[in-house]
């Protein structure tokens, strides 16, 4: 493979990729959506998958969290779903959200019943962080940049 200084491969322009979504799977998409609504003020849209799709008649959840699209799918109809892995693990490990004050955010989230499992702590002189555990072991990192 040859790459020239203008980022072309073999005479063709390099493809551009743009963020679209993160995909979560849940045995109860509505409960997972309620967690993100309650804890992180997610904007959630609920609908039903139409006939002819992979999940006909099941709840379809799309949410916007921290300005990003997150989809929550129900249990897969044809394949068994494995349990969530124990944190930390290799692969897509967590969702990160920035916040202006990690300590205050953790206090507010705990008051709402959140499980703050790590922190708040200072990772380096410019970064304070914490981790919140959500449904099915979903981890959400809160990051405060100083």
Q: Looking at the predicted structure, is the pLDDT value of residue 69 above 90? A: yes
Strands 115-124 and 139-145, how do they pair? Answer: unpaired
pLDDT value of residue 108: 96
Going by the DSSP 8-state scheme, the letter that residue 4 receives in this structure is: -
Question: Quick check: 72 and 64 in contact, CB under 8 A?
Answer: no
| Strand ranges for the chain from DSSP E | 8-9, 12-13, 22-25, 43-48, 59-65, 68-73, 95-98, 115-124, 127-133, 139-145
- Distance CA(61)–CA(129), nearest Å, equals 28
Q: Looking at the predicted structure, is the pLDDT value of residue 146 above 60? A: yes
Kindly report the CATH class assigned to 91-146. Answer: alpha beta
The CATH code that applies to domain 19-77 is 3.30.720.100
Same fold flag, 19-77 and 91-146? no
List pLDDT tens digits, range 13-45.
888 877 888 989 898 999 999 999 999 999 999
Using 50, 70 and 90 to split pLDDT, how confident is the model at 83? confident
Each domain of the chain, given as residue ranges in start order, spans 19-77, 91-146
> How high is the mean pLDDT of the chain?
88
Q: Taking residues 44-72, report their average pLDDT.
A: 92
Q: pTM of the predicted model, to two decimals?
A: 0.81
Q: How many CA atoms lie within 13 A of 92 on its CB side?
A: 10
- Distance CA(53)–CA(83), nearest Å, equals 24
List pLDDT tens digits, range 105-138.
999 999 999 999 999 999 888 899 999 999 988 9
């Amino acid at each position: 493979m040859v790459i020239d200084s203008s980022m072309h491969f073999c005479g063709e322009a390099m493809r551009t990729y743009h963020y679209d979504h993160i995909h979560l799977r849940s045995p109860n998409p509505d409960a997972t959506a309620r967690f993100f609504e309650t804890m992180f003020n997610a904007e959630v849209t609920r609908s039903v998958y139409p006939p002819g799709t992979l999940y006909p008649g099941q709840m379809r959840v799309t949410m916007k969290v921290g300005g990003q699209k997150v989809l929550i799918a129900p249990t897969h109809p044809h394949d068994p779903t494995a349990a969530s892995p124990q944190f930390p693990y290799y692969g897509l490990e967590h969702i990160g959200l920035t916040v202006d004050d990690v300590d205050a955010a953790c206090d507010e989230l705990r008051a709402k019943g959140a499980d703050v499992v790590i922190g708040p702590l200072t990772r380096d002189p410019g970064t304070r962080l914490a981790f919140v555990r959500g449904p099915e072991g979903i981890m959400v990192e809160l990051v405060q940049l100083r």
